[in-house]
Amino acid sequence: MKFVHIADMHFDEPFTVLNTRSNLGEKRRLEQRKVFAKIIDYIQENDIPYFFISGDLYEHKYIRQTTIQYLNMLFQKIPNTKIFIAPGNHDPNILNSMYRNYPWNENVKIFNSSLEIVEEDDVDIYGWGFDDFYCKESPIKNIKIKNMDKINILITHGSLDGGYDEYREYNPMSKKELKQLGFDYVALGHIHKKDYDSEENQRVVYPGSTIALGFDELGKHGAIVGNVDKEQIKLEFIAFDDREFKEINFDVSDNDSVESLIENINKLQLNDMNFYKIIFTGKRNFEINPYAIYPFIEQDNIIKIKDETKINFDIEKISTENNLCGLFIKEILEDEKNGIIDHETSERVMEIGLDILNNQ
């Protein structure tokens, strides 16, 4: 059986980081629509019979009915494709949700917190969705597959092998337990990093977020296209999002002023289709205020600037000097040696202190 699997679309996400630069947040919301339409076109052109959406299709707090109408219009373009949605923690199937209060097209099946099985001729599709914003106890491990002779699919949203408390609040599951259940494919959502080829014959899959939502989601984004039977599984990742979030490390050491720094940033050759975060590195010879630099950056797709530079001081040399700066540095180094402060804190305290002492 052939299918397309996506998750974590997050329609009507406010994109607060992008809104720091003109109207890029609204532009990104329009791009969400464009990417989703491309996926629908792909399904239509390739006669894909099944479309799995593993949660967080939209943002419950921000979703507009016009967006849902747009999605449903696209679903109507693929009447021969059966669409299965397992709501997640950002779009739970609650009383006032769009899942319960909008007349979805007849080819759309929306799961809830009562585990359901949809029985087709050659495949049984199991689905479970959130009915709240949290789920600390997963019902998935209690599933008993009804007919092992058929292809069995599970669609759900949740965290896999989560070691942090926050992950244990979103339908926590174990990959080992999922494999033991015997599904031929498990269509997951929630983790925005794709995981479909990290092991041989992989059947427990995160497609990642369908479009990149921020600088913690670098790389290509799109959908998993699969073909599965009882003997083998073939998975392919297809990038439908034309835009990427990228980071650039920018060494400031050779710049002697804010003006030269801005000039060199504006000389960067950047791809207009991507959003960029500039990370300042190296040793600075002047004070850097990223917020003061923003208005002078000519490329609108530089969204974020982060300063990870260090002051250009020779700490070892200063520590030998018989003056206030030398005494200050020796005191901090002694505190670090005795474990009173860690190395990172020590460096930061020395930078701030020397900056103050040298400007008195």
- Average pLDDT on 202-227 reads 96
Q: What is the CATH number of domain 2-239?
A: 3.60.21.10
pLDDT, tens digit, 9 for 90 and up, residues 91-120: 999 999 999 999 999 999 999 999 999 999
The Cβ-side half-sphere exposure at 78, using a 13 Å CA radius, reads: 25
pLDDT, tens digit, 9 for 90 and up, residues 320-357: 999 999 999 999 999 999 999 998 898 888 878 887 88
Q: Are 111 and 129 in contact (CB under 8 A)?
A: yes
Does residue 174 carry a pLDDT above 60? yes
Where does the pLDDT of residue 287 fall: very low under 50, low under 70, confident under 90, or very high at 90 and above? confident
Bridge-based pairing of strands 204-205 and 185-187 is: parallel
CA distance 136 to 173: 10
Where does the pLDDT of residue 360 fall: very low under 50, low under 70, confident under 90, or very high at 90 and above? low
Residue in 257, 310, 228, 224 with CA at minimum distance from that of residue 6 = 224
- Average pLDDT on 193-210 reads 95
pLDDT, tens digit, 9 for 90 and up, residues 247-283: 999 999 999 889 999 999 999 999 999 999 999 999 8
The structure's pTM equals 0.87
pLDDT, tens digit, 9 for 90 and up, residues 221-251: 999 999 998 888 999 999 999 999 999 999 9
Domain segments of the chain as ranges: 2-239, 245-311, 315-357
What angle is formed at CA 285 by the lines to CA 281 and CA 291, rounded to 5 degrees? 65
CA distance 262 to 251: 13
How far the first Cα of the chain sits from its last, in Å, is 74
Does residue 165 carry a pLDDT above 60? no
Where does the pLDDT of residue 167 fall: very low under 50, low under 70, confident under 90, or very high at 90 and above? low
pLDDT, tens digit, 9 for 90 and up, residues 32-59: 999 999 999 999 999 999 999 999 999 9
pLDDT of amino acid 170: 92
Does residue 181 carry a pLDDT above 90? yes
Number of neighbouring beta carbons within 10 Å of residue 195 = 16
Where does the pLDDT of residue 286 fall: very low under 50, low under 70, confident under 90, or very high at 90 and above? confident
